[in-house]
Structure 1
Amino acid sequence: MAEFGSGSGGGRRAVQRLLDRAVVEAGLPGIVAAVRDGDGEWSGSAGVADTATGRARHPDDRFRIGSATKMVVAAVVLQLAGEGVLGLDDPVERWLPGVVRGHGHDGALVAVRQLLDHTSGVHSYTEDMDRLSRFPAYTPQLLVELAMDHPPDFPPGTGWRYSQTNYVLAGMIVERATGRALEGEIDRRIARPLGLEGTYLPVGGDPTIRGPHARHYTKMTDPAPDAAVHDATELDPSMFWAAGGMVSTTGDLLRFLAALLGGRLLGPAEQQRMVRTVPTVDWIADSAYGLGISALALPCGTTVWGMGGALFGSWTYAYGSPDGAHLVVLNTNGDWGGGGWADPIGVFTDVLRAEFCPGR
């Protein structure tokens, strides 16, 4: 185990015990957590970043953040809406003519905001992983075309279903509206202003993670309890792009979430729209979804805001109080669990309870 920085002792000791338990009982390779509240920042870790060398996990490790990418992409879209570059009620067809079409899909009936809160009904291309895995390279257009080969999940605005295609389309709209690459807009609008030195969207199919990082170990290719562990550190992130391709650190995610929830990235109107939620179906229990961000109700009655993300060998949670003053970010560099924790979500939920529901 390792602890870094400052912060209140009692609650952090409980968090550190859970990090140790995640390695000892759940069998995860390593885990790292970062916490910010009125007493300062604290980081803790357990286990290793590299099973071959035994190097311990460290708060500065970079890792793939999966669907936590959606918070960043949604923030960029909301900034553009606040600047009047686009409207949240604009039909997707206005920005991407002819792209959302086929098998009942109609981009003229889908609003930009429905992409961000997953009420569009647009089918998720990841539902067809067998076909997806046959391609040697990926473009956003290809990912959307795969989704268009299936009918919509429901008419726009009449249901809710998590769809990776929604955020690929949102990223494409950012590029069309600005005339610039999405990775550049994220860097210009989010990473550089907030000083997020370890945060970026990889360009194209670059399989590497720049800078110091944990190895990512996965069993996702085989659900059996005794399945072999594979090193998935190097992979083609273009399969996930705006839906889940970003790299970050626990410290960077603390700063981003503090700025997002604290109202420093968006105007008041866009801030209010971001947290206007819709109920989720067959997703995370006790949750609701806004524009790129989710609300999670804890058993003690506290609601935290943020997003989780999973990509082969890397699971991330980033949640905080509505004002961004109290935040927790966690990452495991393995995607399995044990000891009663079916996957890292059990670990993360217990950490959130320990931090936001002390004494419960």
Structure 2
Amino acid sequence: MGRRLADIPGFGIDRVAAAAGADPAILRLENLDTDVPPHPHVVDVTRAAVGRDDANSYLPFSGLEAMKEAVATFIRRRGGPSYDPHNEVVITQGEGDNMLDALLALTDPGDEVIVTDPTYAGMIQRVRLVGAVPRFVPLRGDADGWRLDTDALRAAVTESTRVLFIAPSIPTGWVPSQQEWEAIADICRERRIMLLYWQGMEGIVFGGRPVITPSALPGMRDLTVTCGGTAFEQRLIGWRVGWIAASAELAPQLAMVHIYNGIVASGFAQIGAAAALGLGDDDVRPAVAEWEWRHHELVHQCAGLPLVPAHGGWSALIDAEACGLDAPELSRRLLEQKVAATPMTAWGETVAPRHVRLVFSNEPVERLALLGKRLRAALP
């Protein structure tokens, strides 16, 4: 086995999902899925593209022009800067290979990449896969939600730091405030460090919070590499279409890495994804309202327990150790009570491993109403 794999643990979600099996009585809170369907127009457009010659090709490697234009329009509509769709946008196979593409282009082995604790395990392990070193900065969670320790963030920066890798919402529901984004941007500008921003859940925010696109902050356009995708807001998980938006200087390097990593995203899926982005936020808002309603029910079911509420996204974390258990044991006990939930063992350094993730996006409110009794039955 290659040495680069020595410190990379298993994902965890797959083991919980396999243990849950196909029992319909089990609440499926272990994985970021949703039963909120894509817009029917998007399904129709995708079906119509299947079998067409222009939708069944290796070319163009960096993505269909219509998809690139849809991404550039989407970012600008969200308040972000203008990107040349032909020279500054690369289309990828979802929201995983784009992260790896970016890390391969932005770092060398031994470089340090700052991530939050908790954060998406797929980010942490991709940092390690490229030979870089993750440095963790804690999020602080309480009954009001998660906040970034900006003093710890500044202290974590060293001469070896090359990238700040920030992913709102996953897995915590943390949505950075304007002040937190400003603190991140200050470091990037002062130290000429790149911000690698995962945009996937950008528009899934609760409580009327504003959507903030960090590449729009002063001086941040060319210091930001934005990785996005249509899996979450547009509910196109199986389409596997994502993107990278970056400066004209960086984009050709990112496109080259993508050719040797992902080659090309599905043509007919790109056609459907472009249609989804073209629908705008009028399609996204009803889905967000549904997920916020489900989150409200989750909080209600966990009343009195150490759940940190989400400000956005599809999941929230409960502190297993505050419940008197470690996270794997709470996950095991929950499964006995017919609740599948993933321990955050590999999702951070000191904060994440205390927690179990509860995904609220894939169960309707009437099913989530079963959680409280089952959760309390799992506790000592």
- Structure 1 and Structure 2 fold alike (TM over 0.5): no
Give the TM-score of the pair, scaled to structure 2: 0.29
- The structure in which a higher percent of residues are helix is 2
Give the TM-score of the pair, scaled to structure 1: 0.30
